[in-house]
């Protein structure tokens, strides 16, 4: 099956291209490279030993999408392309609405025009907002605390409405918890531009000497050690969830929402310790103010993903740290 992978040059997209190819799917990357390097796809090609077609294009361009779908005989789409920085979305909400929501509407329209009806969509645990209880199930109350989260919630709803209106459409809406780690080869990984917003890349850059110390946002949360607790999931486990979701689309019509996490919570301090032990490096840190909008703890109930897809996460926190370190230590400056 040929699969259009929007945002396929990005962090999760590039790892998913590896998993897809290894499982016999043919990914075609569609990316405007606003937050990615073409080098990522060259490395993916090196890992899988095959060429991967790459189209430089924007998901807000319907004509470019239709050309890509038609010229490559596309049968399914995985839609990663989005802007994802919470802070930037607060400062520039309109560009987030345009890129993420307009981009998704344009993609759905092109898919409808080309009679491509299978979609796997990148959603996020951010749609649980200030979750009332953990673990979060797919039926937990939804709320958003920033424009990025709002775009994810709106996109989920748009896709749901389209699947209701057009029964031929099937969508797997995957709510990722906290993706971390890298391909075990260490050749591809997460390469944030500028100062990392997320915890794992920040820790990795401190360990490799690019930054002096980690700021831990709060040590007075109502958790066992006072630091925030999250459900970190290895990016290769996440990549395999996309393969399972594509396979599941033919049995499950309509829009299916699934949590993609491990079901285990790990605190910020536990992740720091695990990284120190995986890397053999010290990760100096200092406690700082809580970050606005953060929640004390959030982890997934991943039961439904296992029931629906037969998928579950396999890797623990040690492996996530080892693989991140292999990538970060081999390429301290990322793809630069
Ligand atoms: P990323 O920024 O590495 O990848 C996104 C890719 O989309 C990039 O390659 C970028 O160049 C491309 N892109 C953005 N806008 C585009 C447009 N208009 N047209 C074409 N290409 C465009 O991010 P990622 O971490 O790989 O995230 C992938 C998806 O998963 C995103 O939708 C993100 O919101 C979602 N997600 C990520 C996380 C996370 O922590 N990384 C968590 C939950 C959900
Ligand atoms: N965090 C931190 N320092 C950082 C980045 C993140 O202490 O430099 C904390 C953050 O407060 C949260 C956890 O690490 O408790 C995970 O944050 P991240 O931004 O990686 O993911 P989120 O769950 O917010 O999407």
Give the model confidence (pLDDT) of 187-227 as tens digits: 999 999 999 999 999 999 999 999 999 999 999 999 999 99
User: Which residues are bridge partners to 122 per DSSP?
Assistant: 174
Looking at residue 336, its pLDDT comes to: 87
SS3 of residue 282 by DSSP = coil
Listed in sequence order, the DSSP H helices in 101-260 are 103-113, 147-165, 199-207, 235-248
74 CA from centroid of ligand 2 (Å)? 37
226 φψ region: left (φ > 0), alpha (ψ -120 to 50), beta (else): left
Percent of the chain with pLDDT over 90: 97
How many other C-beta atoms can be found within 10 angstroms of the C-beta atom of residue 13? 28
Catalytic-residue membership of 148: yes
Does ligand 1 have an atom closer than 6 angstroms to the CB of 106?
no
Phi and psi, residue 191, nearest 5°: -135, 75
Instruction: For residues 5-18, give the mean pLDDT.
Output: 99
124 CA from centroid of ligand 1 (Å)? 11
State the closest ligand 2 atom to the C-alpha of 221, by its place in the atom list counted from 1: 15
pLDDT digits (tens, 9 = 90+) for 135-150: 999 999 999 989 999 9
pLDDT digits (tens, 9 = 90+) for 24-64: 999 999 999 999 999 999 999 999 999 999 999 999 999 99
Looking at residue 106, its pLDDT comes to: 98
Q: How far apart are CA 81 and CA 103, in angstroms?
A: 8
Q: How far apart are CA 243 and CA 21, in angstroms?
A: 10
Catalytic residue from among 148, 176, 285, 331: 148
Taking Cα atoms as reference points, which of 327, 295, 306 lies closest to residue 145?
A: 295
Q: Which numbered ligand comes closest to the C-alpha of 285?
A: 2
The model's confidence at residue 159, banded by pLDDT at 50, 70 and 90, is very high
Does ligand 2 have an atom closer than 6 angstroms to the CB of 217?
yes
Looking at residue 216, its pLDDT comes to: 98
How many other C-beta atoms can be found within 10 angstroms of the C-beta atom of residue 253? 14
Torsion of CA 181, 186, 192, 196, to 10 degrees: 50
Does ligand 2 have an atom closer than 6 angstroms to the CB of 303?
no
CATH class belonging to 2-182+233-263+299-315: alpha beta
Whether the predicted pLDDT of 244 surpasses 90: yes
Whether the predicted pLDDT of 283 surpasses 90: yes
Could you tell me the pTM of the whole model?
0.98
Q: Best substitution site from 4, 8, 9, 12 to test ligand 1's pocket, by max atoms within 8 Å of Cβ?
A: 12
267 CA from centroid of ligand 2 (Å)? 10
Looking at residue 71, its pLDDT comes to: 98
Instruction: For residues 315-325, give the mean pLDDT.
Output: 98
Q: How far apart are CA 269 and CA 216, in angstroms?
A: 8
Beta strand spans in 44-183 (E): 54-56, 76-79, 118-124, 170-176, 178-180
Q: Best substitution site from 9, 10, 54 to test ligand 1's pocket, by max atoms within 8 Å of Cβ?
A: 10
Looking at residue 131, its pLDDT comes to: 83
Q: Best substitution site from 33, 56, 81, 156 to test ligand 1's pocket, by max atoms within 8 Å of Cβ?
A: 81
Taking Cα atoms as reference points, which of 221, 133, 129 lies closest to residue 175?
A: 129
State the closest ligand 2 atom to the C-alpha of 227, by its place in the atom list counted from 1: 15
The model's confidence at residue 132, banded by pLDDT at 50, 70 and 90, is confident
Looking at residue 36, its pLDDT comes to: 97
- Bridge-based pairing state of the strands 54-56 and 285-288: unpaired
What is the C-alpha end-to-end distance of the chain, expressed in Å? 33
State the closest ligand 2 atom to the C-alpha of 228, by its place in the atom list counted from 1: 15
Cis upstream peptide for 203 (omega within 30°): no
What residue segments make up the domains of the chain, in order of their start? 2-182+233-263+299-315
Range of lowest pLDDT (28-32, 87-91, 273-277, 290-294): 290-294
Q: How far apart are CA 65 and CA 296, in angstroms?
A: 40
State the Cα angle at 174 between 201 and 247, rounded to 5°.
115
CA distances from 277 to 168, 284, 322 (A): 50, 13, 9
Q: Which numbered ligand comes closest to the C-alpha of 241?
A: 1
Q: How far apart are CA 25 and CA 179, in angstroms?
A: 22
Mean pLDDT of the chain: 97
29 in Cβ contact with 52 (< 8 Å): yes
Q: How far apart are CA 98 and CA 190, in angstroms?
A: 25
Q: Taken in order 13, 275, 202, 88, is the CA torsion positive or negative?
A: positive
State the Cα angle at 253 between 252 and 259, rounded to 5°.
55
As a whole number of Å, the CA-based R_g of the chain is: 19
Q: How far apart are CA 294 and CA 284, in angstroms?
A: 22
The residue whose CA has the least distance to atom 44 of ligand 1 is 124
Encoded tokens for 36: 């990615």
């Amino acid at each position: 099956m040929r699969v259009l992978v929007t945002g396929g040059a990005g962090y999760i997209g590039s790892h998913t291209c590896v998993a897809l190819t290894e499982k016999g799917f043919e990914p075609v990357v569609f990316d405007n490279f606003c937050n990615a390097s073409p080098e990522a796809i060259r490395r993916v090609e090196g890992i899988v030993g095959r060429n991967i077609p790459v189209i430089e294009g924007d998901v807000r361009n319907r004509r470019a999408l239709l050309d890509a779908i038609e010229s490559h005989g596309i049968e399914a789409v995985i839609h990663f392309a989005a802007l994802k920085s919470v802070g930037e979305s607060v400062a520039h909400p309109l560009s987030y609405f345009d890129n993420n929501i307009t981009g998704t509407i344009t993609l759905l329209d092109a898919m409808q025009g080309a009679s491509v009806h299978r979609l796997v969509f990148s959603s996020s645990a951010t749609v649980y907002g200030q979750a009332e209880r953990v673990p979060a199930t797919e039926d937990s109350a939804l709320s958003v605390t920033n424009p990025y989260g709002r775009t994810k919630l709106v996109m989920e709803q748009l896709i749901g409405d389209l699947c209701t209106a057009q029964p031929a459409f099937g969508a797997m809406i995957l709510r990722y918890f906290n993706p971390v780690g890298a391909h075990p080869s260490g050749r591809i990984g997460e390469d944030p531009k500028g100062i990392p917003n997320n915890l794992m890349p920040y820790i990795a850059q401190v360990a490799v000497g690019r930054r002096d110390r980690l700021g831990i946002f709060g040590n007075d949360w109502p958790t066992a050690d006072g630091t925030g607790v999250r459900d970190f999931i290895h990016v290769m486990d996440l990549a395999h969830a996309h393969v399972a979701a594509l396979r599941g689309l033919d049995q499950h019509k309509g829009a299916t929402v699934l949590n993609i996490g491990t079901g285990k919570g790990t605190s910020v301090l536990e992740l720091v310790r695990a990284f120190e032990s995986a890397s053999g490096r010290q990760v100096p840190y200092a406690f700082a103010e809580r970050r606005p909008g953060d929640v004390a703890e959030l982890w997934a109930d991943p039961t439904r993903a296992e029931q629906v897809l037969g998928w579950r996460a396999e890797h623990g926190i040690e492996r996530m740290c080892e693989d991140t370190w292999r990538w970060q230590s081999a390429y301290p400056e990322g793809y630069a």
